Structure 1
Amino acid sequence: LSQQALDAHRIGTDHWMAKGYDGYQDSQRELVARVLINLTAHGEPGPLTGHLQTFAANGKALHQLLHDFAVLFTYDLQLRTLLPTIWPLALKTTLDAIDAGADLHGDGHWSDYALAALWPTPQLRAADPSPDDTLNRARSDWLAPDALDELAERWIALASEKPKAADALAQFARTAPYSWQCATGLTWLERIINGRYDAFANRCWFVTHWLTELRETAAPGASTLSQWRRIIDALAAAGDSRAVDLQRIDE
């Protein structure tokens, strides 16, 4: 695709998605996403950063583009090796645009989807006949958490009190070493919840699934177990039915 075609795509997508249209079919969108990834990998990041800077105030367009990136990284092993090059740049570019005044939060409920999509998680295609196998392969060599350490604080500040962001963190945690999940993942989860357990109860399937897996995978240390129970108890007190079930795990 030429620079002119990519510019037209960027401008057109921003315009029509701001009006509520769905845009292109998945395969067409993934083609553009693949071009943006490959151009960046070959030293031409301008089209990718241009899309992200434009979409930073358009939650629907931003969510869709980041979702398409995640799908490609999930299914294409060769592209997945580019995650350390692409995703930190994408995250930083978008955060910088928001800091510079792009009003992502003003885009209604789509801003929640976009904020969650900023954090890299494996994503499935709807017609995948073996979703568990696909996810297991992607998780085995996904982006290492330390690649995002310098940007995490900025993302968490934006994602605070957003249930979809908590679910994104939970999905990402399942790609990380168990030690990271216990030492860092739970702490980040508490910071995103920020005491608003009432806003998260029964709204975060991936969070409670991850918390279940943490207990079933290995025996956590005393401090991790205390933190885990604190989160579960607070969710249960807020009425989360799955957390109530998890309270009985030691019975």
Structure 2
Amino acid sequence: MAAELAIEVRDLGVRFRRNRRGRRNIKDLFGGSSRRSRPGEFWALRHVSFEVRPGESIGVIGRNGQGKSTLLKLVAGVLLADEGDVRVHGGVAPLIEITGGFVGDLTVRENVRLIAGLHGMSRAEVARRFDGIIDFAELHDSVDTPYKRLSSGMKVRLAFSVVSQLEEPILLVDEVLAVGDKAFREKCYRRIDELLAEGRTLFFVSHNERDLRRFCTRGLYLDKGTLKMDAPINEVLDQYNADYTPG
């Protein structure tokens, strides 16, 4: 069964602290669960279970603070669960916290090599794809400019261009399409369409209902850190809208 799945999530839970200045002492670290559940802690996600098959397009839906981005970080492996298990079968191309990992003092050229290399792309592959990455990002005149001197829009274009060139079978997208001008968003849409046509698996977080209906066939509705609904995307969006429509 596992070989037929792209992502397996079993009874997942992750806990945060509201007061980040607080520190745990030695007794907390080695004490029982009741000792470790200190005041100010809350479960961002709990008892979340689902499976994703290769090639599925999943939209993660919910109001702000319901655990959507946390779930993507757990699938990406940049956050560890306190309970349960996440298993990802295949590599991940993460478009989450999209400009993370780039180094301000390095040039655009150096950052492309660095980020692509960190994601497992060989030097030969980076060289072969370099011109296409720069063309997509529309940064021909800024190749030797330090990354820190780019505008926020230019940084997003560069990050999307690099990550969308990765050959990983699973694509994680977190609100990245909300950033940038309309023309570049349309180019991103076309690129995601191409990746889906290749059979990639999409895990997509957005507050844009049009984008969710365009790219996704199935929805996961998170509410108060739990999975409230797992159904076809149109049904999930209709339920979400009904829940939060005044009257």
Q: Flag whether TM exceeds 0.5 (same fold).
A: no
The structure whose Rg is larger is: 2
- Higher share in strand: 2
Bigger fraction of residues in helix: 1
- TM-score of the aligned structures, taking structure 1 as reference length: 0.30
| RCO comparison, higher one (Cα < 8 Å, 6+) | 2
Q: Normalising by structure 2, what TM-score? A: 0.30
